[in-house]
């Protein structure tokens, strides 16, 4: 599960299902602890969950004794290089007795133009509840989270998942799940058609076709709508027919072109 800082809290991290790992962002001043050393011969009372206080993520980033590691990850259409620090065997009061891995991502420099000075974004601080994950895997998995944001945007703007007007309790729970499942089937069908038949949605003229990696749900909806129109007789593929008599078409065919 890849989550943002709003979900990296005690409510989520202490109720993780079995066989599930969580990767999320934390604050730069988050309080972290080491793993406690349990001495069964002299210790009394309840079991300790937290050891000695450890440096905050920001202090770890500034610690020159911990080296940076260079890794490569695919993001924004190309493979890019990142510098990270990974620290294992940590604990936090948010996660209880779970062992955590901290990953710090060094800020990446960028230019607004070729002649402008180099600017830097803020560093990223990530934790993972699975101590077997490497720092590189944690970073790659978190970078893939951006597709979730695209998913939310398309479900709201293209499908209108927040617009159904239902009042029954079962409908309120089932309609969003049904629409998300439909959205997933649309993307899978479009991907299958694209890979097997090399049938790709049309792109606007301003788009560079060489850098197209992911087609949007709206493009697949437009493609499906065009195929329905052609098969229903609402329009024609004949390029010479520049002025079709749309008003002579049956109304049931025209309704297939209606928006959501």
Place of tokens 């309790």: 169
Work out the average pLDDT over 61-86.
88
Q: Enter the tokens of residue 95.
A: 């996660």
Confidence of residue 210 (pLDDT cuts 50, 70, 90): low
Domain ranges, residue 208: 149-257
- Structural domain total, the chain: 2
142, 176, 194 - which closes a domain: 142
Do 83 and 159 fall into the same domain? no
Choose between 75 and 143: higher pLDDT.
143
86, 112, 142 - which closes a domain: 142
Do 69 and 153 fall into the same domain? no
Strand partners, 25: 126
**CA separation for the pair 5, 172 (Å, rounded):** 28
Please determine, for residue 40, whether its predicted confidence score (pLDDT) is greater than 60: no
pLDDT, tens digit (0-9, with 9 covering 90-100), for 147-161: 788 888 888 888 888
Q: What is the pLDDT of residue 240?
A: 55
Choose between 76 and 138: higher pLDDT.
138
Q: What is the pLDDT of residue 247?
A: 46
Distance of CA 13 to the CA centre of its chain: 19
Work out the average pLDDT over 239-247.
50
Q: What is the pLDDT of residue 213?
A: 67
Do 6 and 134 fall into the same domain? yes
122, 142, 162 - which closes a domain: 142
Choose between 25 and 110: higher pLDDT.
25
Q: What is the pLDDT of residue 107?
A: 82
Q: What is the pLDDT of residue 116?
A: 74
Which helix (DSSP H) or strand (DSSP E) does residue 109 occupy?
A: strand 109-110
Confidence of residue 222 (pLDDT cuts 50, 70, 90): confident
Could you tell me which residues come within 8 angstroms of residue 130 by beta carbon, excluding any fewer than 6 positions away?
21, 101
Q: At what angle do helices 169-197 and 146-157 cross, to 10 degrees?
A: 110
CA angle in degrees (0–180, nearest 5) for 68-133-14: 115
Could you tell me which residues come within 8 angstroms of residue 88 by beta carbon, excluding any fewer than 6 positions away?
99, 101, 102, 131
Q: What is the pLDDT of residue 119?
A: 62
Summary mean pLDDT of the chain: 80
């Amino acid at each position: 599960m890849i989550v943002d800082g709003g979900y990296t809290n005690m409510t989520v991290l202490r109720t993780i299902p079995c066989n599930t790992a969580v990767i999320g962002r934390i604050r730069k001043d988050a309080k972290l602890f080491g793993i406690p050393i349990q001495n069964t011969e002299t210790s009394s009372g309840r079991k300790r969950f937290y050891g000695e206080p450890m440096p905050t993520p920001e202090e770890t980033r500034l610690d020159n004794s911990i080296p940076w590691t260079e890794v490569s990850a695919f993001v924004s259409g190309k493979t890019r290089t990142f510098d990270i620090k990974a620290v294992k065997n940590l604990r936090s009061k948010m996660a209880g007795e779970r062992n955590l891995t901290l990953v710090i991502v060094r800020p990446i420099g960028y230019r607004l133009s070729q002649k402008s000075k180099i600017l830097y974004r803020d560093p990223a601080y990530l934790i993972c509840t699975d101590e077997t994950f490497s720092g590189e895997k944690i970073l790659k998995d978190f970078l893939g989270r951006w597709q979730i944001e695209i998913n939310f945007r398309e479900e709201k703007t293209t499908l209108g998942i927040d617009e159904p007007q239902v009042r029954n309790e079962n409908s309120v729970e089932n309609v969003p799940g049904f629409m998300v499942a439909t959205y997933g089937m649309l993307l899978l069908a479009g991907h299958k058609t694209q890979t097997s038949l090399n049938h790709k949605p049309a792109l606007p003229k301003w788009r560079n076709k060489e850098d197209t990696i992911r087609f949007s749900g709206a493009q697949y909806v437009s493609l499906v709508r065009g195929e329905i129109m052609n098969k229903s007789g609402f329009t024609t593929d004949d390029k010479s027919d520049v002025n079709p008599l749309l008003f002579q078409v049956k109304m049931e065919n025209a309704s297939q072109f209606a928006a959501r």
